[in-house]
Every structure is written in C-alpha cells, then in structure tokens.
Structure 1
C-alpha cells in the first residue's frame, strides 16, 4: 500500500512538472504601430473602430504551414498598435474602406517597430458644425470619391455619440429612436450631383450642456459595405 501511494505521488509530481515545462514559453517581446495614410495627401485616414478596418500580420518562415493572421483593429484617427507579438519577419497589410496602395512584405519586427501603410480611401469627407442648440446639432457634410474611383456613392450622413468610438453602429440612441444618426440613401442620385452638394443634417433630442462626439459618414457600394469617416469632433450642446 505504501509503495502504491509513493508511486501515485511520483506520477502526480511528474505530471505537474511536465505541464510547467510545456507552459514555459517565451512571452511576446515586440510591438508594431503606425498609421493608415492617404497616399495622395499624407494625412491619416479616419476609421470605424469596431468592425471597421483591420491590420493583418502574417509571420513568415513556417515551411509547409499556412500562418494564421494576427489581426488588430484601427483607431478612429487611423492609427493602430499591436504590442503582443514576437520578434520576426512578417507580411503586413490593411483591409478597410480603401484601395491598398502598398503591402509591406518581409517586415522585420524587432522590439518597437513603426510602419505606416499607404492607401487610397474610397471617399474623402468634410464635416462642419453649422449651429447648435440645447437639444440639437446641425452639421454640414460633403462627400467626394477619390481620383479614379468609380464606385457608386450609396449613403451620406452624420453621427453623434457619447464616446470617441462613435460610428454608424455606435451612436446616441435615445429611446431607440436612432436620433444620434442621420443617414440618407443616395443610390438613385447621380454621383456628380452628390459630390457637388453640401448636405445639412440635424441631430436632435440631445441633452443640454452635454459633450457629444460627432463625425460625418458616407459609403460607396463596396464589398463589406464599409463606411468612410471624418475625424471625430467634440461638440457641447448649449445650456438649457
């Protein structure tokens, strides 16, 4: 009986030791960060934070294996960062509401690595606050396709929310009335007329003396129905 107990204890300790050895992997030791940049202007291309643009990293050097992508979301201002990767060689590219102008092959990530990606956005937008009251914000929006883009402009609008991640799916929604989003269908309108027009949208039923994050939105007919955006603006409604 004593021999059996000693044997069981030996197996128990051996199992724990084996598990510790298997789990004793090196922690991620590198990071990569940068911006999605308009190749024509050099400016960052604003993005939808949730379910929007993605940065894909494929680590190279695995013979006979297809590496799985390491995906990172992009911030509203077009910047990205991933601090949970290993040193090594990667292929890096972006997916979003733009034509990719360059894909980075054989990117050598060593420590903290910086890398921008140049793209051609489907649309370039402008957004201007025209007026505000205690319960509303009026916004002027212009949308233009980038040079050479023949995609149909399908939607134009504006959104307002209580966080900087405001987008067409994440906006101020009082009583489920969708009051923080104004979006019109332009699929039956001519693109030249859309590009020449200034749209004015009134976002209503807001709270007085409250900070809102506002941006223009628009999309073409594209795979994924991805939206282009302006940068986020801060607007505080008037006091009651």
Structure 2
C-alpha cells in the first residue's frame, strides 16, 4: 500500500505541475496588444523621401519596398520588427513601450544612413513611453527638387523636372535614367503605370532642366480615355541610380486631360 500511495502522490504532483504550467503558458500568451504608435517620415533636411509602392496594400495606403528594422532586447526574440515605408516616406507602427534600436539595413532605399551622434554608428536609439512621432534623417544620392506637369489636347503628359546630386564625394553614384510615370491611381512608379518615358543619364545635359513626355493610351481596359472612362491621372518623375535598386521620386501630382 505504501508504494501505491507514493505513486499516486507522485502522479498527482505531475498533473498539478502540468496544470500550473498550462496556466502560466496561457498567461504569457495573453499579453495585451501593442498600443503605442510610432510614426514619422524618412526625410532629407525636412523633406520626405519619395519612394516606390510595392503593392502590399493597394486598397489603403500602399507600402513601399523600403523598410527599417526595430530591435528590442529581451522577450526571447532574436528577429527584428520590420517597419515598411509608404510611398511618401511616411511610416506607422504599433509597438510596446520600451527601448529599441532602429537600424536601416544596408542597401535599403535610394539613400545612405547617417551616423547617430549618440551611438556613433547608424544605429538610432529609440525610447517609447507613449505615442511618438519622429522623422529619420537620411542622405539621398539625388533629390527631385521640382517636377511640373502639363497635359496637351492629344493626351500627352509633359514633365519639366530639376534634379540635385546630393552625394558628391567618393560614395557618389551616376544616374542610370530619369523617368516620367503616369497611372490611373495614385500609386505611380516604374511598375505601376499606364504610360512612361525615360531618358538615360548619359543623355542628360543639365540636371536642372530635364523634360519628358508620355502619351496616355486611348483605350485602357475597354474604356475611352477622357470620355467614358477617366479624365484625370497621376504623375511623378523618378530617378534610377546606378547600382541602387530603389528609385527616388517627386511628389505625386494629379493631372487632368483637356
């Protein structure tokens, strides 16, 4: 009887420990959802960096292919939180309060990271204790300073653009091409357009005076442009930098057919 009683006690203890472990596990899994909002823009001297939409959420804001990483010590995590940028350079993330390290991975975007004065590296310390809005300064290779658009009676959209070369030291890169892009929606880039025109960088004589024209097709998805389908479009100018995947763009402008 003594051995049987000890075995039952041992079994009961195992069941009790298992039950307590299950409760503890449930408690760990029932954390409140993150509520702290971290927002801002990637900017150059206060001007947002205009980039490409990659179509992850075309029904809402649309995210770009460019992102930065947030690392947080503890919580048993070894992977970063990726925060994707909207095509206007803005971002928004819901996070827990705490201490983070913000890093822009090498090769992300048409720009270079700027060394943080506190860390002496491209790692930016981020402390969250409630909602926070913060712009992240970067150093672009080029900026589109101006892009003016006009529309002719023959559905030709023309652009007059001015581009500045920002990085001029040994990190500088050439322009591969400059493009004018027109689309039916406000998501406009080299992959999202109904009309475009490019000029090779070697053919640009003056970065402050770049002109491009693209004709909107007469028929798109069975509709007659300007009559039965749509009489307004969206345009922007983009710069493709040699050796850099991501283009930098001008603001998106709504244009109307005459």
Cα RMSD for the two superposed structures: 2.8
In the TM superposition, 1:49-128 aligns within 5 A as 49-50=53-54, 51-59=64-72, 61-62=73-74, 67-83=78-94, 85-94=95-104, 95-102=108-115, 103=122, 105-125=124-144, 126-128=146-148
The residue aligned with 2:11 is none
Cα distance in 2 between the residues matched to 1:67 and 1:17 = 25
Cα distance in 1 between the residues matched to 2:188 and 2:68 = 20
Q: Structure 1 stretches (4+) deviating beyond 6 angstroms?
A: 14-19
Residue-pair matches, total: 210
Q: Are residues 1:34 and 2:34 paired? A: no
Report the alpha carbon displacement of residue 22 of structure 1 after superposing the two structures with TM: 5.6
The residue aligned with 1:212 is 233
Q: Deviations over 1:167-194 (max 9, x none)?
A: 111122xxxxxxx2222333xx177x35
TM-score when normalising by structure 1: 0.75
Report the alpha carbon displacement of residue 210 of structure 1 after superposing the two structures with TM: 1.9
Cα distance in 1 between the residues matched to 2:139 and 2:69 = 18
The residue aligned with 2:186 is 164
Return 5+ residue gaps in structure 1 as ranges: 1-9, 173-179
Return 5+ residue gaps in structure 2 as ranges: 1-14, 55-63, 116-121, 219-224
TM-score when normalising by structure 2: 0.71
The answer to whether the 8 A contact 2:36-2:97 is kept is yes
Change in CA separation of 1:22 and 1:90 when aligned onto 2, cut-off 3 Å = closer
Change in CA separation of 1:139 and 1:196 when aligned onto 2, cut-off 3 Å = closer
Report the alpha carbon displacement of residue 140 of structure 1 after superposing the two structures with TM: 2.0
The residue aligned with 1:47 is 51
**Pair member with larger Rg:** 2
